[in-house]
Amino acid sequence: MTRQMTGAKMVVQALKDQGVDTVFGYPGGAVLPIYDEIFQQNDIRHILVRHEQGAVHAAEGYARSTGKVGVALVTSGPGATNAVTGLTDALLDSIPIVVLTGQVPTFMIGSDAFQEADTVGITRPCTKHNWLAKDTDTLAETLHQAFHVAQSGRPGPVLVDIPKDVQFANGTYTAPEKSDTTIYQPETKGDITAINELVEAMEKAERPVFYTGGGVINSGPKASALLRELVEATGIPITSTLMGLGAYPASGENWLGMLGMHGLYEANMAMHDCDLMINIGARFDDRITGLISAFSPNSIKAHIDIDPSSINKVIKADIPIVGDVESVLTDILKVWKARGRTVNRDAIANWQSQISDWRKVECLKYVQEGKIIKPQYALSRLEALTKEHDRYITTEVGQHQMWAAQYLGFEDPNRWMTSGGLGTMGYGFPASIGAQVAHPDSLVINVAGEASWLMNMQEMGTAIQFRLPVKQFILNNERLGMVRQWQELLHGERYSHSWSEALPDFVKLAEAFGAKGIICSDPDDLDDAIMEMITYDGPVIFDCLVEKHENCFPMIPSGKPHNEMLLGEASTQGVIQAGGAVMV
């Protein structure tokens, strides 16, 4: 039997049929029919954000922390254009979200009507796919296809633009199982010949390394479990991109830490000197490769990725394998075990010994002395006092983001949410709201810089309204820290507009919203203040006043290879360079 209903009711029904339990949104004239349907049901929870960018970032945080598709609902015109930054962020970081936008009625499209924008044209470059739904009879199928595209293959954002008259009109509802999803069927099974070639290379390699990315996490929890099994069985060391943290536990004996521009010395040196690099679900982005012509010059490079366009885009792969990480790792383990579980154990032991020597550089060493809090110390204490909790971490973008990646340890996937590819200041606070909505009983902390946090500070209203106990841990150096660092090291210490002279009193700001405000400037008081933040049953803004001119090391300078890093003064090797850095 066919089901007749309005387009607005179809939207809500399709969301229910797709298993959606939460929508982040902001109403407006062009989506009022959908909001009216939301009002008349109780299965889907709507979270009212304070800005459409916040809605999309919250949907990202929800998706990243659950592995499910996040959903945002916004109105036409400025509502849709405000969503563009979040869409681009999700595209670069492969986050599965569906954004529903309202549009002026079909007969008014192209007339410059009130709050009209070419949403499909504007968002085409920043979505996996988008649709303008002009026919109510095909609306449900379009919505089901949107969810399929968002979560299949390399995940990412999709958008469905729905004119207001389509929402009012009646049409026939199509169930998910009757929808045509053959429009997009990416390859998931890796080529077995290439997998055999990779296993043979693993058996012979003397200095192998696993280089993993967010694709492992996106593939699902079984992919992370298979990765751990493979690493432990072979003894091959493993490093990760910013987006891949947690796929392999930070406490694991083969863990090298994060690699890249602000990665660990031992991870970057291992990548530079390895003879077999096994890239699993990463895309060789510029913050990882450094100088491309000098990137890991003597290694055989294998690249496992579900997105064929990522293969050979930046670095030529000697062994390219297109496929889903879970499927490919399953086959790698099967082939490797069938061939006798062989690796070059003696050579790998020597390789691990070399890595142990690199670790002695102590690239993350710092000295906390005096009465000014070092940002590294603040995050070390945050780690020590929260690591036993059921914890989710989001970040804004800047120095604090890199310090969080360096000093916080992640034992499991989906516990770390940050803006990697786009580097979106303002991402972390709404993302923490999305994660907290998904995990109401967990400890959710957003590690922030004061400048980034102010970009979406309005979402404190959302946190208060929905009683979300998110903790905003602000490392306040009264500077645009990463901008100031680059100006110090690369622009002759000309600090052009990289500081603020008009910051709010964050404690009073928190209280104005009805939240808890905490300020700490003394390292002796830090532990007690963090515990106060953790135990408070509600949203907290924690204003941690830190050293204003601390730089984030290690750092690969722009245009340099992995083995030319700037390290902090406290490291045990090197020569002091400009800016209190050590060149190794």
Q: Tell me the HSE value of 336 on the side-chain side, using a 13 A CA sphere.
A: 22
Catalytic site residue from 261, 482, 555, 565: 482
Among residues 107, 114, 360, 511, the one annotated as catalytic is: 114
**Which one of 128, 164, 301, 516 is the catalytic residue?**
164
CA diameter of the chain: 78
In percent, how much of the chain has pLDDT > 90?
93
CATH number for the 3-178 domain, one of 3.40.50.970, 3.90.1640.30, 3.20.20.70, 3.40.50.1100?
Answer: 3.40.50.970
Q: pLDDT digit string (tens) for 470-486?
A: 999 999 999 999 999 99
CA neighbor of 468 nearest in space, from 410, 514, 401: 514
Of the pLDDT bands very low, low, confident and very high (cuts 50, 70, 90), residue 576 is very low
Q: How crowded is residue 555: how many other Cβ atoms within 10 Å of its Cβ?
A: 21
pLDDT digits (tens, 9 = 90+) for 482-501: 999 999 998 999 999 998 88
Q: How far is CA 229 from its chain centroid? A: 24
Report, as an integer, the average pLDDT of 387-399.
98
Domain ranges in the chain? 3-178, 192-359, 375-545
> Which H or E run contains 487?
helix 481-490
Nearest Cα residue to 394 out of 364, 376, 420: 420
Query: Is there a catalytic annotation at residue 487?
Result: no
Q: How far apart are CA 104 and CA 369, in angstroms?
A: 61
- Asked whether 442 and 469 are in contact (CB, 8 A), the reply is no
Residue 379: other Cβ atoms inside 10 A: 22
| Number of Cβ within a 10 Å radius of residue 189 | 13
**Window from 286-290, 294-298, 460-464 with minimum mean pLDDT:** 286-290
Which percentage of the chain shows pLDDT scores above 70? 97
User: How much is the average pLDDT of 341-367?
Assistant: 97
Give one word for 461, left, alpha or beta, with left for phi > 0 and alpha for psi -120 to 50: alpha
Cα gap 215→231, rounded to integer Å: 17
Q: Considering the chain, what is the average pLDDT of its residues?
A: 96
- Evaluate whether 3-178 and 375-545 have a shared fold: yes
Q: Residue 287's pLDDT is what? A: 87
pTM above 0.85, yes or no: yes
Instruction: Give catalytic status of residue 52 as yes or no.
Output: yes
pLDDT at 584 over 60: no
pLDDT in tens, 100-141: 999 999 999 999 999 999 999 999 999 999 999 999 999 999
Terminal CA-to-CA distance of the chain, rounded, Å?
72
Mean pLDDT in residue range 294-311: 96
What is the structure's pLDDT at 1?
42
202-248 confidence digits (pLDDT tens): 999 999 999 999 999 999 999 999 999 999 999 999 999 999 999 99
> Confidence band (pLDDT; 50, 70, 90) for 183?
confident
Tell whether the model's pLDDT for residue 56 goes beyond 80: yes
Whether 115 is catalytic: yes
Give the active site residue among 10, 37, 52, 429. 52
Q: Catalytic residue, from 115, 352, 354, 577: name it.
A: 115
- CATH code of the domain made up of 375-545: 3.40.50.970
pLDDT of residue 500: 83
Contact (Cβ atoms closer than 8 angstroms) between residue 141 and residue 7: no
* Nearest alpha carbon to residue 562 among 186, 324, 299: 299
CATH number listed for the domain at residues 192-359: 3.40.50.1220
Residue with tokens 């050293």: 547
Predicted local distance difference test score (pLDDT) of residue 577: 44
Tell me the mean pLDDT in the region 312-333. 97
